[in-house]
Amino acid sequence: MRRSRAITERVSNMPGTRARRSDAEVVAAVRAAVVEELAEVGLGRLTMDGIGQRAGIAKTSLYRRWDSPQAILLDALHAGFPQEQPAPSPTDDLRHDLIQSLRLMVAWLGTPAAQATAAVLTERARYPELAEAVYTQVFEPKGGRFTGTVLRHYADTGRIDPDRLTPVVLDIGEALVLKFALDSGELPDEQTLADIVDQAILPAADRRA
Amino acid sequence: MRRSRAITERVSNMPGTRARRSDAEVVAAVRAAVVEELAEVGLGRLTMDGIGQRAGIAKTSLYRRWDSPQAILLDALHAGFPQEQPAPSPTDDLRHDLIQSLRLMVAWLGTPAAQATAAVLTERARYPELAEAVYTQVFEPKGGRFTGTVLRHYADTGRIDPDRLTPVVLDIGEALVLKFALDSGELPDEQTLADIVDQAILPAADRRA
């Protein structure tokens, strides 16, 4: 907790006598602060004051980079979401790469940023534009569907039939990971990820499975 | 809203001069009240007083049937969850029955009881025993997995290979319905349910698909 820090600290590189954090450190502190603040006070009470106080940044400094608490939140969710690779490894092994893409999803689900993302989507009815922005500004620029990114890569290279990659099929892996987490309160282990790939994704996506 | 009703109304059939609701009407009013109360005040502030006031029932009357607000909530969620049929129709048509079982799930998802169930599962970290009770006292006694109930029926009659009915495969349909609802904020339409069955469940469960 940084509540006791001076809020006169500056985002810019103006000279001063205080020990200052670098620009990147300040941005990281603000992103961490908005995620913590959301967990503590909820979406309806997210303010520039609350975020600034938690990060130890003057509100005027926050406004130099972001124009609203929602903009800070989206920035933090974007920074916390993994950048998906079309082919996470050069193995040319569809099964391996699908499991790897689900591992990337599970690693993300364990982060505070993922909890914050879930909180926004849960409140979709009250904040529809913010939920929509999570899709357009967070998920889609980074790839958007972990297994879908891999499946499209293998369709592009002729390994699987692109006609099989319907919206439903592109969603199977993520849907099963989320359902497992919902039912068990835990993240799926390695064996479960392999079962999801072998028993659900490959039979649907790959005629040879 | 029934807040203005006299709270001296009785659950029992004791004679009295007031117009009284039947036992079944009172139980239905209490079940509706706990679901409304949960949506308004949240799980942490659910009380016998709040539920009684909303239903127009004296707290002492509530205690004759239920021993806690959580017991009332579980009763209401159980009453609101559909009783699954192993074979919803005598068509002996696997595809038809799978779509029908997803329709049953979607119809339930549109009810206030389903919203209340989701609220309990969302708060699993804070109320782990209540979330667990939703599985043991609500889902499992009624069948527990809409498509799973159908798939097990067809495995029992030799139509599909029981070895294919792994936990992952039994979860595909429900997982995709929930993911669709999460992403779109809407419930899947008929075409989406058919796509889920044709493109995901049948390829995984049925070698002939």
Across residues B137-153, what is the average pLDDT? 87
For the stretch B169-209, pLDDT in tens is 999 999 999 999 988 889 999 999 999 999 999 999 987 65
Q: What is the pLDDT of residue B88?
A: 57
Q: What is the pLDDT of residue B18?
A: 52
Q: What is the pLDDT of residue B11?
A: 43
The candidate with the shortest Cα–Cα distance to B32, out of B112, B107, B106, is: B112
Tell whether the model's pLDDT for residue B7 goes beyond 80.
no
- Residue A12 placed within a domain: no
Across residues A126-138, what is the average pLDDT? 92
Grouping H, G, I as helix, E, B as strand and the rest as coil, residue B88 is coil
Looking at chain B, which residue has its C-alpha nearest residue A164? Answer: B199
- Of the listed ranges A29-38, A103-112, B3-12, B121-130, the one predicted with least confidence: B3-12
Residues B50 and B92 grouped into a single domain: no
Q: What average pLDDT does chain A have?
A: 87
- Residue A74 placed within a domain: yes
Residues A38 and A109 grouped into a single domain: no
Subunit contact A124:B195, Cβ cutoff 8 A: no
Subunit contact A172:B200, Cβ cutoff 8 A: yes
Across residues B111-138, what is the average pLDDT? 90
Of B57, B78, B99, the last residue of a domain is B78
ipTM over 0.90 threshold: no
Round to whole Å and give the CA distance between A17 and A27: 21
- What CATH number corresponds to the domain at position B119? 1.10.357.10
- Number of structural domains (chain A) is 2
Subunit contact A179:B174, Cβ cutoff 8 A: yes
Tokens of B17: 């001069």
B87: confidence class by pLDDT, cuts 50, 70, 90? low
Question: Which residues of B are less than 8 Å from A129 in CB distance?
Answer: none
- Residue B1 placed within a domain: no
- Residue A198 placed within a domain: yes
Question: Which residues of B are less than 8 Å from A169 in CB distance?
Answer: 199-200
Residues B150 and B174 grouped into a single domain: yes
- Residue B190 placed within a domain: yes
Subunit contact B176:A171, Cβ cutoff 8 A: yes
Residues A62 and A146 grouped into a single domain: no
The candidate with the shortest Cα–Cα distance to A92, out of A147, A145, A154, A143, is: A154
Q: What is the pLDDT of residue A87?
A: 59
A91: confidence class by pLDDT, cuts 50, 70, 90? confident
The residue of A179, A191, A207 whose CB has the most chain B CBs within 10 angstroms, and thus the best one to mutate to test that interface, is A179
Of B43, B59, B78, the last residue of a domain is B78
Residues A106 and A46 grouped into a single domain: no
Subunit contact B168:A199, Cβ cutoff 8 A: yes
Q: What is the pLDDT of residue A123?
A: 83
The residue of A168, A189, A198, A201 whose CB has the most chain B CBs within 10 angstroms, and thus the best one to mutate to test that interface, is A168
Across residues B105-132, what is the average pLDDT? 90
The count of other CB atoms within 10 Å of the CB of residue B155 is 16
If one compares B135 and B89, the residue with the highest pLDDT of the two is B135
Across residues B142-170, what is the average pLDDT? 90
For the stretch A142-200, pLDDT in tens is 777 899 989 999 999 888 999 999 999 999 999 999 999 988 889 999 999 999 999 99
- A interface with B, Cβ–Cβ < 8 A, is 121-122, 124-125, 128, 131, 135, 164, 166-169, 171-172, 174-176, 178-180, 182-183, 185, 192, 195-196, 199-200, 203-204
- Residue A1 placed within a domain: no
Domain hosting A112: range is: 82-205
**CB B185 within 8 Å of CB A125:** yes
Q: What is the pLDDT of residue A198?
A: 97
Residues A120 and A154 grouped into a single domain: yes
- Residue B138 placed within a domain: yes
Nearest C-alpha of chain A: how many angstroms from B125? 8
Of A44, A62, A78, the last residue of a domain is A78
Residues A134 and A152 grouped into a single domain: yes
Looking at chain B, which residue has its C-alpha nearest residue A195? Answer: B168
- Residue B165 placed within a domain: yes
Across residues B53-79, what is the average pLDDT? 95
If one compares A143 and B157, the residue with the highest pLDDT of the two is B157
- Of the listed ranges A130-134, A137-141, B201-205, the one predicted with least confidence: A137-141
Across residues B25-47, what is the average pLDDT? 93
Residues A93 and A190 grouped into a single domain: yes
DSSP A110: T
**CB B182 within 8 Å of CB A178:** yes
Across residues A30-59, what is the average pLDDT? 94
* Identity of the residue numbered A164: R
**CB A7 within 8 Å of CB A52:** yes
Report the first-to-last Cα separation within chain B, whole angstroms.
Answer: 51
Residues A175 and A135 grouped into a single domain: yes
Residues B122 and B189 grouped into a single domain: yes
Round to whole Å and give the CA distance between B158 and B173: 21
Residues B91 and B57 grouped into a single domain: no
Tell whether the model's pLDDT for residue B48 goes beyond 80.
yes
Across residues B77-102, what is the average pLDDT? 84
B122: confidence class by pLDDT, cuts 50, 70, 90? confident
Q: What is the pLDDT of residue A52?
A: 96
If one compares B194 and A17, the residue with the highest pLDDT of the two is B194
Residues B189 and B87 grouped into a single domain: yes
Whole-number percent of chain B with pLDDT over 90: 64
